[in-house]
């Protein structure tokens, strides 16, 4: 019953009529489950279910592509290098490391002369829910089968089946992530033909990758199986992208967390700590203003005062202005200052498994994230760089001017401390950990033994 319903019911009690005809008496304090279920209804939080079944031939092709370094200019990095099942669909790094780097996971090292990718790699878990916005700054967006908004320098082809496919068109164009710099030679010492192409000829890059792929008989067979009826000459990288999207939806969907079971009306699925944390999250605290709906995140942009670390993005470099940079690029009007340092609230299912946190990976634990929210201005002013990999500490922008700049557009809710007790902080963390599907802990079965190019899958 909603608060209004309860009030109406109490009013009716005086008249002797209320549902069930229970005898008049003092109303019992609603139990925590009743309170929480009301909050969840108000927050639009609903269980997520299995993804629609995907065409197996498309999934098999997409799996091969996701793990095949042939998609990268230098044949040295695949999507899965940064979105690794052994690290829950991410890399365990604060900032991702692209082509030229060596190793996988948190031990991955930057190649000489290369620069960090300016942002943290999000997990592929539950990307199949297909939020309206993708990327930390929401620069790719759209519903259903599109059309999709993308960065202004790239026009996406038609025929993309969903936003994940639209996104998959982009990493292969990105020089720092997958394409490489002009003059690069690949792992075998051959010219990197993808990197030679000027950025404006991005459609040629897609064509050149398809030429690589279809030159390998096993890919020709797999594309044929996934797209019977489409002649090889009509296959474009959008067909590869649709296959990758099908694999992501099929492989990385995990929706059986204790919290999801609770949403399916199993009161015993959550511990008392997690329930208390959830009532804070969906009740007294502002969390669910931004992390709500089926995704527990994703739909609006906010500056929550995260410390700035990294090489920076676009015109704002060495800072990362987040959404403001996109707004300035995509819409030719002065950027509203409210978007300065604003990012997309990440979806929170399985968040326990995908440290480090925030757009630049500044916090190694959920405890540290909750401490940040508890007093944002102080957390920003006293950020401890030893939480970062030594290679990144020199790129922490902790100067007074930057801190003042970030605080000047800080979300108003966080301008004053939340004053959480130690117990409340650990309840919140217990709630966040209740979002973990145990089946998301070990995703090793998604890794193929080999890929059609014969390039190593793990190195």
Q: Which residues bind ligand HEC (CB under 6 A)?
A: 71, 77, 79, 81-83, 96, 98, 117, 119, 121-122, 127, 134-137, 164, 167-168, 171-172, 177-178, 244, 281, 285-287, 289-291, 302, 304, 306, 343, 345-346, 348, 351, 354, 357-359, 366, 369-370, 373, 411, 413, 428, 432
Q: Which is nearer to ligand HEC, 22 or 404 (CB)?
A: 404
Q: How many CB atoms lie within 10 A of CB 125?
A: 28
Q: How many CA atoms lie within 13 A of 225 on its CB side?
A: 14
Q: Which is nearer to ligand HEC, 31 or 417 (CB)?
A: 417
Q: How many CA atoms lie within 13 A of 404 on its CB side?
A: 3
Q: Which is nearer to ligand HEC, 165 or 269 (CB)?
A: 165
Separation between Cα atoms, residue 366 and residue 372, nearest integer Å: 10
Separation between Cα atoms, residue 279 and residue 273, nearest integer Å: 10
Q: Which is nearer to ligand HEC, 22 or 109 (CB)?
A: 109
CB of 290 to ligand HEC, least distance (A): 3
| Two structure tokens written together for 373 | 């929210």
Q: Which is nearer to ligand HEC, 134 or 208 (CB)?
A: 134
Separation between Cα atoms, residue 20 and residue 261, nearest integer Å: 28
CB of 93 to ligand HEC, least distance (A): 9
Exposure class string for 226-259: b at 16+ Cβ within 10 A, else e: bbeeeeeeebbbbbbbbbbbbbbbbbbbbbbbbb
Separation between Cα atoms, residue 192 and residue 433, nearest integer Å: 44
CB of 16 to ligand HEC, least distance (A): 43
Distances (CA, A) of 265 to 3, 36, 260: 20, 11, 9
CB of 297 to ligand HEC, least distance (A): 7
| Two structure tokens written together for 350 | 């399985």
CB of 164 to ligand HEC, least distance (A): 5
Separation between Cα atoms, residue 93 and residue 77, nearest integer Å: 16
Q: Which is nearer to ligand HEC, 197 or 326 (CB)?
A: 326
Q: Which is nearer to ligand HEC, 18 or 316 (CB)?
A: 316
Q: Which is nearer to ligand HEC, 269 or 355 (CB)?
A: 355
CB of 97 to ligand HEC, least distance (A): 6
CB of 377 to ligand HEC, least distance (A): 15
Separation between Cα atoms, residue 291 and residue 131, nearest integer Å: 12
CB of 106 to ligand HEC, least distance (A): 14
């Amino acid at each position: 019953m909603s608060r209004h319903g309860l009030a109406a019911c109490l009013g009716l009690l005086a008249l002797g009529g209320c549902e069930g005809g229970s005898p008049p008496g003092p109303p019992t304090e609603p139990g925590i489950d009743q309170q929480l279920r009301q909050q969840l209804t108000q927050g639009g939080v609903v269980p997520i279910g299995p993804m629609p079944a995907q065409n197996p031939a498309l999934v098999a092709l997409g799996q091969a592509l996701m793990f095949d370094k042939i998609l990268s200019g230098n044949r040295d990095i695949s999507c899965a290098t940064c979105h690794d099942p052994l690290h829950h669909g991410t890399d365990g790094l604060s900032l991702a490391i692209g082509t030229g780097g060596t190793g996988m996971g948190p031990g991955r090292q930057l190649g000489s002369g290369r620069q960090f990718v300016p942002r943290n790699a999000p997990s592929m878990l539950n990307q199949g829910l297909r939020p309206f916005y993708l990327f930390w700054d929401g620069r790719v967006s759209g519903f259903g089968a599109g059309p999709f908004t993308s960065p202004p320098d790239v026009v996406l082809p038609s025929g993309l089946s969903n936003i994940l496919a639209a996104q998959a068109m982009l990493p292969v164009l990105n020089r720092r992530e997958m394409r490489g710099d002009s003059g690069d030679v690949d792992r075998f010492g051959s010219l990197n033909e993808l990197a030679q192409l000027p950025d404006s000829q991005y459609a040629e890059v897609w064509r050149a990758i398809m030429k690589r792929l279809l030159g390998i008989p096993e890919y020709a067979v797999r594309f044929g199986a996934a797209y019977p009826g489409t002649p090889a000459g009509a296959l474009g990288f959008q067909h590869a992208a649709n296959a990758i999207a099908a694999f992501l939806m099929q492989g990385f969907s995990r929706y059986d967390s204790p919290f999801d079971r609770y949403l399916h009306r199993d009161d015993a699925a959550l511990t008392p700590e997690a329930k208390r944390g959830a009532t804070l999250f969906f009740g007294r605290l502002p969390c669910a203003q931004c992390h709500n709906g089926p995704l527990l995140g994703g739909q609006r942009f906010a500056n929550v005062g995260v410390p700035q670390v990294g090489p920076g993005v676009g015109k704002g470099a060495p800072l990362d202005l987040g959404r403001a940079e996109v707004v300035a690029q995509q819409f030719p009007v002065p950027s509203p200052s409210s978007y300065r340092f604003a990012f997309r609230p990440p979806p929170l299912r399985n968040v326990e498994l995908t440290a480090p946190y925030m757009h630049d990976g500044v916090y190694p634990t959920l405890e540290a994230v909750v401490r940040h929210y508890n007093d944002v201005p102080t957390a920003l002013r006293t950020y401890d760089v030893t939480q970062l990999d030594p290679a990144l500490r020199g790129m922490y922008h902790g100067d007074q001017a930057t801190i003042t700049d970030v605080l000047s557009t800080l979300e108003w809710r966080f301008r004053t401390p939340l004053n959480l007790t130690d117990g409340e902080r650990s309840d919140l963390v217990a709630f966040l950990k209740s979002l973990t599907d145990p089946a998301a802990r070990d995703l090793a079965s998604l890794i193929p033994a080999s890929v059609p190019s014969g390039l190593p899958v793990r190195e």
